[in-house]
Amino acid sequence: MNLLDTFFTALYTIPLEQAALWSLLGNIVMFAFALLLGELLVRAFHDRANSPPPEPLTRQEVLLALICVLLNTLVAIIGLVLWRADIIVLRPNGDVPATLLDVAVLILLMDFGMYVFHRAAHHPLLYPIIHRTHHLYENPRPLTLFVLNPFEVLGFGALLIVVILVAQSSQLAILIYLAFNLIFGLVGHLGVEPAPGAWLRLPLVRTISTSTFHAEHHHDKGHNFGFYTVLWDWLFGTLSPQYQQDFTRATDQSG
């Protein structure tokens, strides 16, 4: 039995309260890692801003971010309970192609699901309840990734559980997806553009979203609802017409 199998076996068998503590620790580590990596990227690409500097940090931002970490832990515990009850089925880890396919399916399903959820959250009836909190901080910093209304955190968490339930991915694929999701969310809230200037000129690569793509959404709530790709915005007509211009402006500043 390899280390990954040992880890998941332990999660499945140890008392639930112990598993909850491990889940909390894991979420705290991911939170700290995101803030540290974000700060390094902001400093490295400080001359490629795609948003004005953020306002001074407030207690409310910090409190909302900490609540987000706790609620992400709650979502993980719910997922664990469903797995232990055999409602969520995780397939054994396979070879590299099988794992990559699982990851691709998770990304595709979550990308579409989050586009739909995000766009619905901007409906006038739902926006004040779910999403307005995040848009109080239009000039993002790495912490902004976690500054969400609790209803929004739980909504995204429920979507993830449903996708995992449907996809029946392998254990390794889920871990890879979670790391991928954290990095993409962080990049979208840097306030600077780390992607190379040629990004939007490369076939296929140009469909992958950038920091500028999400920064535009913070300043233009009618466009750019996607997360990992621009495909759904392009397909449904919500891609910002200024995207290429704003991306070029951000990447040309360093020159």
pLDDT in tens, 101-123: 999 999 999 999 999 999 999 99
Query: How confident is residue 92, by pLDDT bands cut at 50, 70 and 90?
Result: confident
Q: Among residues 147, 111, 117, 145, which one has the least CA distance to residue 132?
A: 147
- pLDDT at 58 > cutoff 70: yes
Task: Report pLDDT for 73.
Answer: 97
For the entire predicted model, the pTM comes to 0.93
Task: Report pLDDT for 7.
Answer: 86
Q: Among residues 243, 142, 252, which one has the least CA distance to residue 196?
A: 252
Question: pLDDT tens, 123-166?
Answer: 999 999 999 999 999 999 999 999 999 999 999 999 999 999 99
Which parts of the chain fold into alpha helices (H)? 3-13, 16-44, 59-84, 96-121, 150-167, 171-187, 211-219, 231-236, 243-252
Cβ atoms of 218 and 138 closer than 8 Å: yes
Question: pLDDT tens, 186-200?
Answer: 999 999 999 999 999
Report d(CA 174, CA 170) in Å as an integer.
Answer: 6
